[in-house]
Structure 1
Amino acid sequence: MSLYGVGLGPGDADLVTVKGQRVLEEADVVYSPGRLSRSVATEHVPEDRIGDVDFPMTRDEDELRRAWKEAADEIASRARDETAVFVTLGDPNVYSTFGHLRRTMSAFHPEVDTEIVPGVSAVTAFATALGVEISSGMSLALHEAARGAAPTGPDRMILFKVTDAPATHEKLVDAGYDVVYGRRLFMEQGETLVTEDPEVVVERDYYTLAYAEKHEVEYEPATAQFETSVDAAMRERAEGEAHGDVPPEVTSDD
């Protein structure tokens, strides 16, 4: 009686973890909440092992509870005798639909054991794609920014679900932030975009994120001095060679 919640990562089938891939390959049935997560899952399991559950696009809480109860009943009917998997993009515990299923299963089907297999979250994938280092000592907040919202917090933020980039951008700039946007990063479906221009991502897309950093924020880790000292030494040598003061390095094949 097992249900696994498996994080598929940001949307590239090659970024599923080794454990996640093994669980998918060994599962009797795999359920997906959407088309994109299904397309990643089917890179690791055949279509005939994909289960069907319906999740309506609505904000009506009664309708959502009904849908999740029906999904939990369907999944529990398989998980009692087989190994069932519910997949989600990113990580099951980071801005994921899996939390709804876990709570519903716990309430109505407590006999089904649940295990989470973490995945590469949109947070780390986004930071990697932008070359942003989140290092020790830095403060970073995660916020949702749907429908033009622009939450503020520490000096650095990653914003999910940026569905009205121009409105969000204007508010963040007024609050003293520099902003860069990423859309469908590491996803095999759709066009990957990285831009500082909110008009480039003006079209509504659920998979748009933003990284916001306060103007001229300063943070220097201890090892940053290595880069500074090496750069200075290279500049000094280059200047010396240009004036004939330092002989160029001689290489030998011996």
Structure 2
Amino acid sequence: MTVYGIGLGPGDPSLLTLRGKDLLEAVSTVYTPGRLSRAVVSEHVSDDRLGSLSFPMTRDPETLRTAWKDAADSIAPQARREDVAFVTLGDPNVYSTFGHLRRTLEAFHPEIDVEVVPGVSAVTAFTSALGIELTSTTGLTLCEAANGPIPTTVPQLLLFKLLDVPTVHEQLSAANYDVLYGRRLFMESGPTVVTDDPTELADRDYYTLAFARKRSFESSPATAAFSETHEVADG
């Protein structure tokens, strides 16, 4: 049988895809990795079909490996008999807990099929909420400041899952970027914040994104507009 990794989108239950909704209604059990994903999926799935899995927020590799193995072992017996789902905010293949579960299932339970159902990612939710158009000059990076330097060679950057906004802002400002931040966009839990002031986001919050543009960068995207002197030929 199959474990479906279903992306729930950025936090608004109405942004779930039709494919995701159909599968949530069809599978026997829907597993959630945390409180926020459970709150979103509860809009579509009754409590008696929900199961919980624990994924600790830690960088300790042994603790993480144990948690991933325990989660895979919990799902496997039922997934051998019937289809189940694991839900995650955003998209399952974009910096998601589901990636760890999928790799662990493949390693220890290769007889179980795994299928990914895409969701609206934090990247596209962020750009939609703030009216930002990503052009071919934009670089995309999954950034947590503690993990090393931010790439600063492209005209525009989109960064997400920022845990240390003041440090990120200092690095980007030194590299001549202007930065706009968004936090908990499309989410019902916690305050939604849009700001260019890093002091408003000094507390750590996993659901924080940033769009950075070089101060010297100028862009003129193509449009269908004609200049005032353009003449349209007859016929």
Q: Same fold (TM over 0.5)?
A: yes
Which residue does 2:81 correspond to in 1? 81
Task: Supply the AA of the counterpart residue of 1:139.
Answer: T
Q: Secondary structure at the match of 1:98?
A: helix
In structure 2, stretches of 5+ residues that fail to align are 230-235
Inter-partner Cα distance in structure 1 for 2:196 and 2:219: 22
- Which residues in structure 2 correspond to 1:133-212 (within 5 Å)? 133-135=133-135, 137-147=136-146, 151-153=150-152, 154-212=154-212
The superposition leaves residues 3-43 of structure 1 with CA deviations (integer Å, 9 ceiling, x where unpaired) of 00000000000000010111111110011111101111111
Which residue does 2:100 correspond to in 1? 100
- Which residues in structure 2 correspond to 1:23-62 (within 5 Å)? 23-62=23-62
Kindly state the Cα deviation for residue 229 of structure 1 after the two structures are TM-superposed: 4.3
The superposition leaves residues 125-156 of structure 1 with CA deviations (integer Å, 9 ceiling, x where unpaired) of 11111111113x33322231344965023111
Inter-partner Cα distance in structure 2 for 1:80 and 1:158: 40
Q: Secondary structure at the match of 2:179?
A: strand
Q: 1:103 to 1:21 in 2, by over 3 A?
A: same
Instruction: Please tell me the root mean square deviation across aligned C-alpha atoms, in Å.
Output: 1.9
Inter-partner Cα distance in structure 2 for 1:53 and 1:146: 28
Task: Supply the AA of the counterpart residue of 1:100.
Answer: H
Inter-partner Cα distance in structure 2 for 1:110 and 1:30: 20
Q: 1:110 to 1:17 in 2, by over 3 A?
A: same
Which residue does 1:239 correspond to in 2? none
Inter-partner Cα distance in structure 1 for 2:184 and 2:52: 25
Q: 1:165 to 1:82 in 2, by over 3 A?
A: same
In structure 1, stretches of 5+ residues that fail to align are 233-254
Kindly state the Cα deviation for residue 158 of structure 1 after the two structures are TM-superposed: 1.2
**Aligned residue pairs, count:** 229
Kindly state the Cα deviation for residue 204 of structure 1 after the two structures are TM-superposed: 1.2
Inter-partner Cα distance in structure 2 for 1:173 and 1:205: 21
Equivalent pairs: percent with the same residue? 57
Q: 1:217 to 1:73 in 2, by over 3 A?
A: same
Which residue does 2:7 correspond to in 1? 7
Task: Supply the AA of the counterpart residue of 2:184.
Answer: R
Task: Supply the AA of the counterpart residue of 2:72.
Answer: A
Does the alignment pair 1:128 with 2:106?
Answer: no
Kindly state the Cα deviation for residue 157 of structure 1 after the two structures are TM-superposed: 1.1
Inter-partner Cα distance in structure 2 for 1:51 and 1:66: 19
Contact 1:150 1:172 in 2 (8 A): no
Q: Secondary structure at the match of 2:138?
A: coil
Contact 1:7 1:120 in 2 (8 A): yes
Inter-partner Cα distance in structure 2 for 1:16 and 1:179: 29
- Pick which of 89-98 and 200-209 moved more: 200-209
Which protein has the larger Cα radius of gyration, Structure 1 or Structure 2?
1
Kindly state the Cα deviation for residue 168 of structure 1 after the two structures are TM-superposed: 1.4
TM-score for the superposition, normalised by structure 1 = 0.85
- Pick which of 206-215 and 153-162 moved more: 153-162
Task: Supply the AA of the counterpart residue of 2:45.
Answer: V
Inter-partner Cα distance in structure 1 for 2:8 and 2:115: 15
Task: Supply the AA of the counterpart residue of 1:141.
Answer: L
Inter-partner Cα distance in structure 1 for 2:98 and 2:83: 17
Task: Supply the AA of the counterpart residue of 2:13.
Answer: A
- Pick which of 7-16 and 157-166 moved more: 157-166
Moved beyond 6 Å, runs of 4+: none
Contact 1:148 1:162 in 2 (8 A): no
Inter-partner Cα distance in structure 1 for 2:133 and 2:172: 21
